Amino acid sequence: MRFVWLLCVSVFIGQGQPPAHTMRGAPLPVRFVKIEPQAMSAKPSLLTNGSFEIGDEAPEGWTFSARGSGVRIEWETASPVHGQRALKFANDRSTGVRAIAHLTLDSPLTVKPKTTYSIVFWLKTDGFYQGSLTDGIGGRFRSPFEHTQGQWVRKSIEYTTDDQQTSLPLQFQIDSATDGLCVDGLQVFEGAPSAGQGGRLSVEWAMPSVVFAPDGSWSAEAIIAATEAVKGAVIRAGSEEGELAIRPNIPAGVSKLTFGGTADQFKDLEKKQRLELSIIIGGEALALERTVRFYTGSQVKEFIKMRAPAGDTSDGAFALFARQAKEEDALLLLPFALQMKGHAAATGERGVVWISDPELTKGERDALGLLPKPTVTITEPKQSLSLEKWLEARHKSLATLNLRWGTKHESFEQAAKEPHLTDSTLYRMEADDSGRIRLTEPRYIKSGLAAIEGMVSMPNDRGATWAVGWSKLAKQLAMAKACGARHILIDPLDLPAKIGDQAEGLLMFLAVLGANGAGIRFSSGAVNPLGTLAVSRAVSELGRLRSDVRTLGSAPPDAYLLYSPVDAAHDPERHEADFERWYLALITAGFRVGILTERALEEGVTPPAETVIAIPGARRLSDEALVRLNTALANGAKALVPEGAVLDQDLYGRARTQRFVGETLYRLPNLNAMETTAELLKLIRQTDARPPGLQAFRTNGEFAWGVVCQTAQNVSFVINLTQETIEVDLKSALVDHGRHTLKPMEYRLIRW
pTM: 0.32
Share of the chain above pLDDT 90, in %: 0
Q: What is the pLDDT of residues 108-135, one digit of tens each?
A: 888 898 888 888 888 888 766 577 888 8
Measured distance CA(347)–CA(387) in Å, rounded: 12
Beta strands in 591-644 (DSSP E): 593-597, 612-614, 638-642
SS3 content of the chain, % helix, strand, coil (to 5): 25, 25, 50
- pLDDT number for residue 23: 23
- pLDDT number for residue 596: 79
Strand partners, 709: 717
Q: What's the pLDDT band for 204 if we cut at 50, 70, 90?
A: very low
Pick from 479, 496, 338: which is nearest to 417 by CA? 496
Pairing mode, if any, of strands 71-76 and 665-668?
unpaired
Measured in Å, how far apart are the chain's first and last C-alpha atoms? 59
* Residue predicted with more confidence, 715 or 144: 144
Model confidence at 294: pLDDT above 50: no
Q: State how far the alpha carbon of 310 is from the alpha carbons of 314, 332, 382, in Å.
A: 11, 21, 37
3-class secondary structure, 10? coil
Q: Do 101 and 171 touch, CB atoms closer than 8 A?
A: no
* Residue predicted with more confidence, 398 or 93: 93
Q: What's the pLDDT band for 338 if we cut at 50, 70, 90?
A: very low
* Residue predicted with more confidence, 613 or 620: 613
Q: State how far the alpha carbon of 18 is from the alpha carbons of 97, 112, 164, 236, 280, in Å.
A: 51, 49, 57, 9, 17
Strand partners, 373: none
Q: Tell me the longest C-alpha to C-alpha distance in the chain.
A: 88
For range 455-462, the mean pLDDT: 29
Q: What is the pLDDT of residues 9-48, one digit of tens each?
A: 222 222 222 222 222 222 222 222 222 222 223 456 788 7
Q: State how far the alpha carbon of 403 is from the alpha carbons of 95, 114, 454, 458, 461, in Å.
A: 45, 56, 12, 6, 11
For range 506-531, the mean pLDDT: 40
For range 597-609, the mean pLDDT: 76
Measured distance CA(338)–CA(335) in Å, rounded: 9
Q: What's the pLDDT band for 50 if we cut at 50, 70, 90?
A: confident
Pick from 520, 507, 359, 534: which is nearest to 455 by CA? 520
Amino acid at 282: G
Q: Do 510 and 520 touch, CB atoms closer than 8 A?
A: yes
- Hey, what domains does the chain have and what are their CATH numbers? 62-190 (2.60.120.260), 297-386 (no CATH), 390-550 (no CATH), 559-690 (3.40.50)
Model confidence at 558: pLDDT above 50: yes
Model confidence at 678: pLDDT above 50: yes
- pLDDT number for residue 44: 63
Name which of 59-73, 181-195, 583-597, 712-726 the model is least confident about. Answer: 712-726
Average pLDDT over the chain reads: 49
Strand partners, 560: 594, 613
CA–CA–CA angle 171, 176, 182 (5° rounding)? 55
- pLDDT number for residue 106: 87
Q: Do 27 and 241 touch, CB atoms closer than 8 A?
A: no
